[in-house]
Amino acid sequence: MKKFLLIAGLIACLSCPAQTQQGYRNPVIPGFHPDPSICRVGEDFYLVTSSFQYFPGVPVFHSKDLINWKQIGHCLTRPEQVNLNGASVWGGIFAPTIRYHEGVFYMITTNVTDKGNFLVHTTDPAGEWSDPIPIKQGGIDPSLYFEDGKCYLVSNPDNYITLCQINPKTGEQLTESKRIWIGTGGRFPEGPHIYKKDNWYYLLISEGGTEYGHKITIARSRYIDGPYEQNPANPILTHINRNMQSSPIQGVGHADIIQAPDESWWTVFLAFRPQSDMHHLLGRETFLAPVRWDKNAWPVINGDGSISLEMDVPTLPQQPFATKPVRTNFKNGKLGLEWVHVRNPHPENYTFDSNKLRLKPTPITLNDFKDSPTLVCRRQEHIDFTATTSVQLQKASSGDEAGLTVYMSETSHYDLFVKQLSDKKQALILRYRLGELSHIEKEIVLPKGDVQIRVKGNRDFYSFEYATNGKTFHELGRMNTRYLSSETAGGFTGIMLGLYAVSSNPSSKGYAEFEYFDYSGE
């Protein structure tokens, strides 16, 4: 009888769809995905992150469990929505906020290179979003809060957290801007979000700059426009303390808080993973931590305000998505949502033919600060990874080149490419651009035809390899990772792996064909 009851109990547990699970791995969205903001609609979570100089802008993700995320679109997909001309890795689209109210999704952000703060809206976050609606109040990192038919806006002009009411459909500012908090004294008070709990208005912000001194602080008030009193236990999330100085996670900050359907509370936030003697290359990534938020109390993040790569905590029932395939084969004639361009691209330079991606070379190079080169790229998501493609120049003129780039910025990238030298001669070249230095590291002559090129990354080096038979790869050279790091190269972005084509001949009729792109990491 006891055996029967035990079996019956096991069957009942296995058949229950809502079993709490234990543990997950950070980051939950790896690679360059900074400044996450989150909202919930029923049992569905939606999240957006910054995109800076890359187009389409502001990727949108969906999840059922806060741990497994799938990209479903972008908020800014049309040139009339976002002008990125001249945007560098310090410019373009800064931190967005996503909110849901009465059947409508709102995304508000800043284009620091163009017209400042604006919002877009939609009823389908995976579809097209509206044309931009400009916002008068300045600063960066704008956020929305809805209550009793009113929409409040907070941002940080002049390094003060400032509040006003707006009409979210028109952008009209309905009240004067009022300064409500300056933070705890850390530099760059930014990333404000307002929440209401137990008749308290809580104001969450970031301080310290998005570097090693980053931290999250919080204040509260009985009235939305203050006065706000700060939490005596601030900061509530940071890795600047001695106990976390050797943590593999640093720069923790810029958070948003959400309550799950089971009434548990969680926060998403950015951080980075240093490598190669405290340099970081992948950019700021999206992390997750549980929040304990008792009645009339201040929120406590993961017990002590720090987090780890392996989070041994109860979670929502986990609902993973299918594993991403290693290979992108271009057979469906379009690029996946993970692929983006530097600034607003020239669409005529990107076509598909015979199940291959065809890129038209132009004189706009990877070093260009203003225009958009013929470059399509995706994020490096792992410290240890391998990326491989097969490229062939067709009808090429002397000076045409195409290949694979490990791209941090216009002034910091490693390139492995095929270059047309003459009608019957081509070379495989490994080149670097580091600040004002540009140098050909290695050059070999190859027969015309397909060339398979590969980059392997680890904590300290990028190794560049090639093959002409698709099987036997030879190393052409190695480059130090730290020279492309944020600490060395600067900027707010992370490493992108790109396929590109460039020509020194404006009248070239040539093109480059890429058969596939493989990416795997661990």
Note whether 306 and 331 are same-domain residues.
no
Is residue 152 a part of any domain in this protein?
A: yes
CA distance linking residue 50 with residue 283, whole number of Å: 11
Which residues are 414's β-sheet partners? 406, 432
> What are the start-end ranges of the E strands in 354-411?
356-359, 374-379, 385-394, 401-409
Note whether 488 and 402 are same-domain residues.
yes
CATH number at residue 163: 2.115.10.20
Note whether 58 and 90 are same-domain residues.
yes
Active site residues: 35, 190
CATH number at residue 456: 2.60.120.200
- Peptide bond before residue 56 is cis, with ω within 30 degrees of 0: yes
CA distance linking residue 291 with residue 6, whole number of Å: 35
CA distance linking residue 231 with residue 246, whole number of Å: 27
Token couple for 88: 């560098």
Structural Rg of the chain based on CA atoms: 24
Note whether 172 and 232 are same-domain residues.
yes
> What are the start-end ranges of the E strands in 198-294?
200-207, 215-221, 229-230, 237-238, 250-259, 265-272, 285-292
The one-digit pLDDT tens for each residue of the chain (522 residues) are: 444 444 444 433 333 444 568 899 999 999 999 999 999 999 999 999 999 999 999 999 999 999 999 999 999 999 999 999 999 999 999 999 999 999 999 999 999 999 999 999 999 999 999 999 999 999 999 999 999 999 999 999 999 999 999 999 999 999 999 999 999 999 999 999 999 999 999 999 999 999 999 999 999 999 999 999 999 999 999 999 999 999 999 999 999 999 999 999 999 999 999 999 999 999 999 999 999 999 999 999 999 999 999 999 999 999 999 999 999 999 889 999 999 999 999 999 999 999 999 999 999 999 999 999 999 999 999 999 999 999 999 999 999 999 999 999 999 999 999 999 987 889 999 999 999 999 999 999 998 889 999 999 999 999 999 999 988 999 999 999 999 999 999 999 999 999 999 999 888 899 999 999 999 998
Which string of DSSP letters, residue by residue, matches 155-174?
E-GGGSEEEEEE-TTT--B-
Is residue 9 a part of any domain in this protein?
A: no
Is residue 222 a part of any domain in this protein?
A: yes
Is residue 6 a part of any domain in this protein?
A: no
- Please name the residues in contact with 165: beta carbons below 8 A apart, sequence gap of 6 or more: 150, 151, 152, 153, 173, 174, 175
Quote the domain boundaries for residue 381: 327-521
- Please name the residues in contact with 248: beta carbons below 8 A apart, sequence gap of 6 or more: 273, 274, 309
Note whether 331 and 385 are same-domain residues.
yes
Domain stops at, among 265, 286, 314? 314
Which residues are 218's β-sheet partners? 204
Total of domains in the chain:
2
Instruction: Give the predicted TM-score (pTM) of the model.
Output: 0.94
Note whether 96 and 229 are same-domain residues.
yes
